[in-house]
A = this chain, B = another copy of it.
Amino acid sequence: MSDVTAPTPSRTRLTPDERRSQLLDLGVQLLATRSLEELSIDLLAEQAGISRGLLYHYFGGKQGFYEAVVQRAADDLYAQTAPPDEGEPLERLLVSLAGYVDYVVTNAAGYRSLVKAASGSNDNLRAIYETTFAALADRFFTADPGGMVLQDTPAVRLVIHAWQAMVEDLVLTWCDDPAGLTRDDLLHLVTGSLPTLVDLLP
């Protein structure tokens, strides 16, 4: 009781949308160190300093909250890896890939919540992951409609899918132990690997 403080002024001034967004941020943070199953509404309400009832009001229940948290992580990833509006296709894609690496490195907690969602038994959560990575793969073609960088063929799509799995593992493992590689070394692996993989196609 030595550190009693008044409620912060910012809390009372939040709009419902701001409050909802704040709760999602908190959910992403809490997922950094526990699985979705371990993240209880009770814990979240306690950490947020609000009632269970208000949490249900915002998200319609525990499942709705989980899905909103994972969707938040997915939306963040997609937005923060958007290619620039201008430039050559290759340059725009390289900026997007650098955005991916930097997003995962600086938001590892949120990113891991997305990866966990993909591997659980909840179909809605898995769909969020799969839809997000399909949208990221599509950027290779929407940012390069002329096929200057990669041709849009089933075999190239197969390679991109597998390359995404590799990049995800690479960046997350690097976050835990860089193995002597700098961020630029890592980015060189990420960007250099896709064309060399496509070159191995018949």
Contacts of A197 in B (CB 8 A): 189, 193, 196
A185 touches B167 (CB 8 A): no
Contacts of A159 in B (CB 8 A): 170, 189
CA distance A24 to B185 in the complex (A): 45
Say yes or no: is A87 at the interface (Cβ < 8 Å to chain B).
Answer: no
Contacts of A165 in B (CB 8 A): 165-166, 168-169
Instruction: State whether A169 and B162 are in contact (beta carbons under 8 Å apart), knowing that A185-B201, A200-B193 are contacts in the complex.
Output: yes
A-B contacts, 12 of them at CB < 8 A, read A119-B120, A153-B179, A154-B177, A155-B185, A158-B170, A158-B173, A158-B181, A162-B167, A185-B202, A188-B202, A193-B193, A193-B200
Copies per complex of this chain:
2
Classify chain A's interface size.
35 or more
Q: Which residue on chain B has the smallest CB distance to residue A116?
A: B119
